[in-house]
Amino acid sequence: SPATSDFQTARLEKYRSFDRYRRRAEQEARKPHWWRTYREYFGEESDPKDKIDIGLPPPKVCRTQQLLERKRVLRELRANSEEERAARLRTARIPLDAVRAEWEKTCGPYHKQRLAEYYGLYRDLFHGATFVPRVPLHVAYAVGEDDLMPVYLGNEVTPTEAAQAPEVTYEADKGSMWTLLLTNLDGHLLEPDAEYVHWLVT
């Protein structure tokens, strides 16, 4: 149409070539704008210094003792010909309970903290405060008379399975006091920022 061709001609007269247009577009893209881009909006992370740590202090571990223990275990493994033969023949049995116990003591709490940060639990439940879950909880719900429904990191527990209070076990010093809370952060039916507390034991 004549109107479209006039518009295109005006643009050609303004830039005269594609290279000039491209350079001008790149200059505009580099200029600061009043709006935030998608990456700026969703890529913003709060400064870790702003977060308040409300957790227990890390256990004091002697690094020298830890390294000596590792060397001792490696020496024992190298000296054990049966273990070496089983590893070579791919018949070695790995004690998963011992592996999990070691994971719980070393890097497991930090993995759990990263998961909780990823899913926004600290943001929603503690309003930005953070902590490393250093006390491993073992939670299981009684289903029927003989069966137990264990709670792992990420499995779903239905309301029917969670109807009764769970069995919770954890290691603690004698005489120490603890509070256990079961809450539903995003299950409130009326208010968007409210939560339901299913049970609280102090």
pLDDT per 10-residue tile (average), the chain, 202 residues: 55 72 86 77 64 87 90 91 90 92 91 89 83 91 87 84 88 89 83 84 86
Residue showing tokens 């791919």: 90
pLDDT of residue 20: 84
Name the nearest CA neighbour of 54 among 107, 145, 132. 132
Q: How far apart are CA 99 and CA 76, in angstroms?
A: 17
pLDDT of residue 169: 92
Q: How far apart are CA 189 and CA 168, in angstroms?
A: 28
Q: Model pTM?
A: 0.65
Name the nearest CA neighbour of 171 among 132, 200, 137. 137
pLDDT of residue 49: 67
H helix intervals, the chain: 2-15, 18-30, 38-43, 63-79, 81-88, 96-105, 108-118, 121-126
CB 151 within 8 A of CB 141: yes
Q: How far apart are CA 140 and CA 144, in angstroms?
A: 12
Residue showing tokens 């954890």: 170
What is the dihedral angle through the alpha carbons of 129, 134, 135, 136, rounded to the nearest 10 degrees?
110
pLDDT of residue 52: 87
CB 142 within 8 A of CB 164: yes
> Using the 8-state DSSP alphabet, how is residue 44 labeled?
-
CA atoms within 13 A of residue 18's CA, in its CB half-sphere: 0
16 conformational bin, left if phi > 0, alpha if psi -120 to 50, beta if neither? left
Under 8 Å CB-to-CB from 28, ≥6 apart: which residues?
none
> Using the 8-state DSSP alphabet, how is residue 197 labeled?
E
CA atoms within 13 A of residue 127's CA, in its CB half-sphere: 2
User: DSSP labels for 154-169?
Assistant: S----TTTTSSPPEEE
Name the nearest CA neighbour of 139 among 108, 165, 110. 165
